[in-house]
Structures are given as structure tokens and as C-alpha cells.
Structure 1
Amino acid sequence: MEGRPYDLLLKGGRVVDPAQRLDRMLDIAIKDGRIAALEAGLAPELASEVINTEDKLIAPGLIDTHAHIFEHVTGSFGLNPDSCGVRAGVSTLVDQGGPSLMTLPAFRHYVAEPAASRVLCFLSAYLVGGLEGHHYPQLYSPEDVDVKRTIEIGLANRDLVKGIKAHAEVGGKSRWGMEVIKQARDIARGIGVPLYIHLGQLWPEAGKGIDDPDTVIEELVPLMQEGDILAHPFTRHPGGFISCKTGELHPIIREGLDRGLRVDVGHGSHFSFEMAQKVIEAGILPTTLGADMHGYNTDAGQVKATNRESNPFFGKTRFCLTHAMTELLALGMPLTDVVATVTSNAAGMLGIDDEIGSLAVGKTADIAVLERETGRFTLSDNSGMTVTATEAIRPVFSLREGVRYDVDSPVVVEPMDLAS
């Protein structure tokens, strides 16, 4: 109806907004795609449309900090952005290393601009970007990096480019040492964005390999600076947070975190409950929670890659961003901390917390409407380990700049399918 102060009113939900330290029952009013009011007892007649959100959990729009959505260009690796985004209850997606200086124009035109979801990227340090899920190691050598030109492209596209992506793992180190990581660091510094580093084996080792996978993290951390991001802290592969020699948290991780490094879950096929328990019990909590869904580990209804089984990223367990939230709850993280990983912390990492990541009045009306279900849910990882959870997060619908999108994506894991 015309003449109403608000376009939409979400009535009676439990608002969890870590940025404002809020966890209570409130109404949310939206006008022209922005948060217009956040308070209890707003009159329904003030809005043109009212949605009853009683018994729902209301959070700022979810942000997936590790997506692979360069559809078609990266082959079967790249998923449809809205299938992973608004149709899965997620407002913002960050493609990790799909586009490169050579393919960023295509990413902008064919992925970011048409998507209903907000789409950003961490630009690949490599000329080829994420073609076929980094399946061919010969394409990722120091000779396949152009530091100067990647800086130029990143600076010219700062609206999309929020960081630089590279890989530190035993296969690459056996071939090139840490030279590519140094190049990626120089690119990130030249653009003024964070460096995001993949941990955990990606390629087979070359030649004689390396004797000690721990040397990857030992040589990597000194190259990084405050604000840079270590991904896959819970990886089941060697060369990560857990020392292969001691089976415990590598001491250099604490040193890096003390210097301001951040931690992104980067769930994917890397996620291990055993490793996660060790890391969390050591007092290390993730800063952000990237789902790391792609065509080799998630059934999103597209044609599967012929090399899927041979790819080290291949996984046999279904997951999505809200399912990854459920797993963090099962590992003992408080709800507010879990919500922060996909809202305020993520927006801060991207440098856009002035616009999203909170439900404060004036912010963009990106909102997640969720259900917190209770029961007994069996969760499993790709190593075959299972844990029983007593609560699960289910996405109901999302708002992107005030526009509603119902959850109907095939990537979403329904808690009822996990009930035990």
C-alpha cells in the first residue's frame, strides 16, 4: 500500500546481531532496501507488507567467504551463484580464486552483474585462475604469475576485488618452494587487500617430495601480515594447523594469530571433526566460515566433472553454509560466535562492514531468516567420522536489499535428512 512508512516489516523474530551485541526479540522495518527501524512492538499497519517471523532466528545477511561460482568458465568446478547464494539463504558470496587478471571481465559480466546475490572475489594470483578446480599443477608455477599486471587489474576493479588467493601446500612447495606465495604476497600488498592462503594438500608431490609437511606452515606464516587469512584450519590433509610430527596445534599458528592473522574455515572436502576438535580445544576459533562448495564436492544438479574422483577436493558428504554453521555449534561454539563468522566478521574481512554485516538502522537490508531446530542429527565428515548434534540451522528465506528470496536450492542440507 502507498503512503506507509515502511515497505516490509519482519515481526517478532529473535534477532542475533553480533555487531550490535544484540540477541533478543525485535521487529525489523525496511524501506527502500535499507533497515529503517529495529525495535520491539512496531505496529503492523506501518508497513505495506508484514511477515510473521515468530520462532525464527533473524541474522544479518549471511556472507560466504569461500565460494566457487565462476560458472561454466571454471568448468564443472564452478556452481551457479544464486544456487549457493540467495536461494540457499546467503546474501553475499566471495569467489575464492576463480577469476584472474585474464578472466575478471567475464566474471563481472556473466556472474557478478546478473546474479541476485551480491558477488565479490578474491582474485587469483595465477594467470589461469581456478580453471577446472586447479586440477593441473603445471599451470600454477611462478612463471604463470604476472605480479605487475595483476596489481593493475586489482586496483582497477576494487569494487569486486577484495583480496588475493594463493595456495601453500606440499605439492606446490615440492615444485617451487614458496616463490608463488611471495609473488601473491606482493600482489596483495600492491593492491592493499588481504592475502588468502589455502592450506592442505592440493597437488601430488613432485620429485622426491618434501620430508616434512610442517615446513609449509613454518615458512608461510612469516610471509603474512595482519589481516591476511589462513584457510582450512580443520583440514584433514598434511601441512595445516595440526603438526604431522606432534599431532597437536603447530606453535607458529599462535604466533601468527598474535600478529593479527585471521582464520577462515573453508569447509569444502577438507573439513575434519578430529582436526577441528584439536584446533578448537587449543583455543583457536575461526574468524570466518566459508563453505567452499564447488562442483567436485557438492551436488548442485549440474553435470559432474569426469576427473571428479581423482581430484583431491572430491568429497562424499553434502554440506552448505548453514550446515557448516550447524557443525560449528556441534563443536561447542556459541551461537553468537557462529553467527559472527558469517556476518560481522566476514563483512570486516571484506572491508564492507559500513554497508552489510549488521542490522543497524541505515544498513543495507540483507537479512537471513533461519530456523534453529532441535533433535538428534548425525553429522559426518569426509574421513568417515560422525558426531551427533542436538541442534541444526535451517535457512528459510533471505532478503537481498529488501527483496525476498525463498530457499529452494539443491545444495541446501535439510536437518530432517540428518535426523537420527
Structure 2
Amino acid sequence: MAEPAFDLILRGGRVIDPANGIDAVMDVAITGDRIAAVATGLRGEQAREVIDVQGKLVTPGLIDTHAHVFQHVTGRFGLNADVCGVRSGVSTLVDQGGPSLMTLPAFRHYVAEPSNSRVLCFLSTYLVGGLEGHLYPQLYGPDCVDVDDTIRVGLENRDIVRGVKAHAEVGGKSRWGMDVIRKARDIARGLDVPLYIHLGQLWPEKEKGIVDPDSVIEELVPIMAEGDILAHPFTRHPGGFISTKSGDVHPIVKVALERGVRVDVGHGSHFSFDMARRVLDAGIIPDTLGADMHGYNTHVGSLSEAESEDNPFFGKVRFCLTHAMTELLALGLPMDTVIATATSNAARMIGMDDELGALTKGRIADIAVLDVHTGNFELTDNSGVSVKTDRAIMPAFSLRAGQYMAVDSPVVVEPMRLAS
């Protein structure tokens, strides 16, 4: 009797693979750690194991473009990588600004290497990295940036360093103008990687502050280049996409997009349904999603209730990457567009679209299997605004390099069901 051609067949799921233009009921076969076939009518006897995924979505492995998983080193801010990754149906995590030139070796040894999830990073601009979630602005000025050494360390670790992270917001601008952002740009150019910029107020303004929060993005955009990324387009905090003067999307955002600057949702504590509608109504569709879970905004963090109430980052809403995908669906984005934000577009953002983000024969078998529940659901943002939706995406299981990964993470929470 002939040996089976495949180790595993995922049979009969709705395959959505935006990179290859596929949206159809198909079978996906895996041999070892590679995708062996995407086809219809694969026979059960061709594989050692068959998993029936009828009624489920089968997509390329999910990529979370905004994670905070430098556990312990970044204090209460950093979560466990696998809790945010494979245990919640996500294959690849990109830590945004946790490790710095001084702490990157620890990030590699204690986080990236032992995790079952694939863990990458956007290297912090700042010497101290993301200590305690950037609570102390005195650590993040231009004197706390070393351009040359950050480039050196980044080049030595280019396999996991996929970009550079910095913050452009009113508290920082009131202290240092755009000096830190220019240094961050120089680091990114020296590494030939994207520059990822946080928008939305992070720190209190110093002394008299700045008169016009819109000046942050006005001065930021000329510094950015094609492939760089603006984060938090849906932020409810000043200094973002929405002009504080007009209440509409600032015109310079369109200028940035025309120059090839990309947009990452960076959900976290910044997501606002109201702001999202304004941005989407202006014709701006985010390229990537990014959950932005951390220890101050999820129920798996270590803050006490009292600490949580006093913390500027804290949000009481439970969420994860698939929950954020559900919110994009509720805002009217098509399913294939939502899937692309966490697969093909995300792979392109990190410069790995030749390896990840597609169900192409011969590629690594990172695959997500998702349930789409129907019913009456209520979603609530960090401002307390609620919307209703009739679909909710939940992870069923995933494959990471061909290995089955069960979903058992406490961050995975089904949206609130409403009575029919």
C-alpha cells in the first residue's frame, strides 16, 4: 500500500487567501511544515489525518502587527507571547517597540526563541525601549536615542528586526519638537526598514504645551517615506487623523497616503467607533490591523482594579486580534479586506510577503481556522460607545509550521450576545 502523500488535509473550509485571489470552498494539504496543495476534491486516503473544517474559514496564518510581548522586562506592560499568539489563533507577533538596542539580546533569548509563536519586533528608537509602557516621558527624549548603535544592533539582528518604532504625539512635541522622530527616521533608513509611528496623545503636555494638536501630524508627514506606517488612525486622543479644528480627517493624511505611507489600526486603548467611521467615510481603509494588547488594557494584565482606574492606558474592554477583525466587519469592511489586514498586507508590512501571508504551495504551513458565529452581538469601544453586529469571528485552531495549535488563551472572548 502506497504511503499517503500528505500528513494532513483540512477538508471543505471556505478558503480566503487574498494574496492569491482565492475565496472558495477548497481543501488544504500539509506535508511536514509546508503547504503541499490547495485544491478541491482531495481524497481522505491521501493523508495520514483529515480534519473536517466545513463551515469554517481557512486563511493564511494570522499576523498581529502590533503586540507587546516583552514579558517581565517591560514590566506590567508586556504579555506572554503565546497567550497573544498561537494560543489565540495567531501565528506571528510583531512586538512594537518593546526591545531596544540594550535589551534586544534578552528579547531574542527569552521571548523570540522559546515561543511557539513566531515573534518579531519593530526595534525601539529609545535606549530604554518600552519600559512600563512608556509611562515616564523623561526617558524618551532625543538625549535617550543613539542612532548609530541602534542601527548596528538592528543590522546584527535583521532576522527579527522588521522595523523601527517611535511616538509622535502632543506630550512629546511639547518637550522636544520633532527631534526624536527625525532620529527615528535616521535609524529606519540605516536599517532599510519601515518607520512605525504612534499617533494620539501619550504623555501629558509640558508647561504651556502646544497650541495646536494638528501640528503634530502636519510636521510628521514630511519626515515619513513610502512604506512607513501611521498607527492608531481611529484614536480618540488628540493629534491623530481627525483634526481638532474641523472634526474631519486632516488633509495631510491624504498626502501621506499618496506618498505610499501605510496605516495600521493598532487597536489597543485607542479604538473609537466614532473616529473609525469618520476615517472610513473619508475613503481611508487601513492596510493592517494590529491588536495592541498589553498589560494595561487586557484582563490578563497584572494591574489591580485601583491601578487600572488611574492608568491612562487602561481600557476595560476585552479584545484580541479576531475581536478587532469582528469590529472591522461591523464597520462595513468586506470579509476579504479584513482577512487581508491580518495576512497578506501584514506580511508585506514586515517585508516577509515572500514567506508569509499566503496559502501558496511550498510555503511554511502557518494556517488559521476561524469560526464565524452569527447572531446578535454588541461591541463596545474604549469610549463606551457600543454597536451591534450579526457576525463574530472567533479562532477555532491554527497550524504553526504544520503543527496543530489549540486555542485556549484567556484573551479570546466572544463578543456579548444580545437576546434575540
TM-score relative to the length of structure 2: 0.98
1:299 deviates by 1.2
Q: CA deviation at 1:303?
A: 5.5
> How much has 1:248 moved relative to structure 2?
0.2
Query: What is the aligned partner in structure 2 of residue 151 from structure 1?
Result: 151
Query: For 1:310-369, what per-residue CA distance to the aligned partner results, in whole angstroms no more than 9, with x for missing partners?
Result: 332111111100000000000010000000000000000111111110001111100000
Partners of 1:168 and 1:307 lie apart in 2 by: 26
Contiguous gaps of at least 5 residues in structure 1? none
Which portions of structure 1, spanning 4 or more consecutive aligned residues, are displaced by more than 6 angstroms?
none
Matching residue of 2:138: 138
Aligned residue for 2:104?
104
| CA deviation after TM superposition for structure 1 residue 382, in Å | 1.1
Deviations 1:363-405 (A, max 9, x none): 1100000011111110011111110011110100011001011
User: What is the rounded CA distance, in whole Å, between the counterparts of 2:139 and 2:164 in structure 1?
Assistant: 17
Q: CA–CA distance in 1 between the matches of 2:310 and 2:136?
A: 12
Q: Summarize the alignment of residues 255-294 of structure 1 with structure 2, pairs less than 5 Å apart.
A: 255-294=255-294
Amino acid at match of 2:87: R
Count of aligned pairs between the two proteins: 419
8 Å contact from structure 2 (residues 294, 301) kept in 1: no
Structure-2 residue corresponding to 1:23: 23
Deviation, structure 1 residue 309: 3.1
CA–CA separation in structure 1 for the residues paired with 2:313 and 2:182: 24
Q: Distance in 1 between matches of 2:417 and 2:74?
A: 31
Say what the alpha-carbon RMSD is for the aligned residues.
Answer: 1.3
Give the deviation of 1:200 after TM superposition. 0.3
Which digits, 9 at most, give the CA deviation of each residue in 1:76-121, with x for residues without a partner? 1000000000000000000000000000000000000000000000
- 1:301 and 1:46 map into 2 onto residues whose CA distance is 45
Structure 2 CA distance for aligned equivalents of residues 381 and 418 of structure 1: 16
Which residue of structure 1 aligns with residue 45 of structure 2?
45
Give the aligned partner of residue 332 of structure 1. Answer: 332
What do residues 278-329 of structure 1 show as CA deviations (whole Å, max 9, x unaligned)? 0000000000000000000001264559754333211111110000000000
1:122 partner SS:
strand
Stretches of structure 2 lacking an aligned partner (at least 5 in a row): none
Give 2:60's aligned amino acid: P
Pairing 1:311–2:311 present: yes
Is the 8 Å Cα contact of residues 295 and 304 (structure 1) preserved in structure 2? Answer: no
Please give the alpha-carbon distance, in whole angstroms, between the structure 1 residues aligned to 2:103 and 2:307.
Answer: 23
Give the whole-Å Cα distance in 2 for the aligned partners of 1:419 and 1:262.
36
Q: Could you tell me how far apart the structure 1 residues matched to 2:64 and 2:175 are?
A: 31
Per-residue CA deviation, residues 211-237 of structure 1 (Å, 9 max, x unaligned), is 100000000001000000000000000
> Which has the higher mean CA deviation after the structures are superposed, 188-197 or 298-307?
298-307
Write the distance in 1 (CA, Å) between the matches of 2:91 and 2:127. 29
The AA in structure 2 aligned to 1:396 is A
- Residues 301 and 78 of structure 1: is their aligned pair in 2 closer, same or farther, counting only changes over 3 Å? closer
For residue 27 of structure 1, give the secondary structure of its aligned residue in structure 2. Answer: strand
Please give the alpha-carbon distance, in whole angstroms, between the structure 1 residues aligned to 2:32 and 2:102.
37
User: 3-state SS of the aligned residue for 2:309?
Assistant: coil
- Alpha-carbon distance in 2 for matches of 1:406, 1:166: 34
2:381 aligns with: 381
CA contact (8 A) 2:200 2:232 kept: yes
C-alpha separation between the residues in 2 aligned to 1:112 and 1:92?
11
CA contact (8 A) 1:379 1:418 kept: no
State yes or no: 1:217 paired with 2:217: yes
Alignment correspondent of 2:169: 169
Q: Distance in 2 between matches of 1:300 and 1:3?
A: 45
Q: Conserved in 1, the CA contact under 8 Å of 2:196 and 2:229?
A: yes
**Contact 1:100–1:126 (CA under 8 A) maintained in structure 2:** yes
1:267 & 1:202 partners in 2: Cα distance? 15
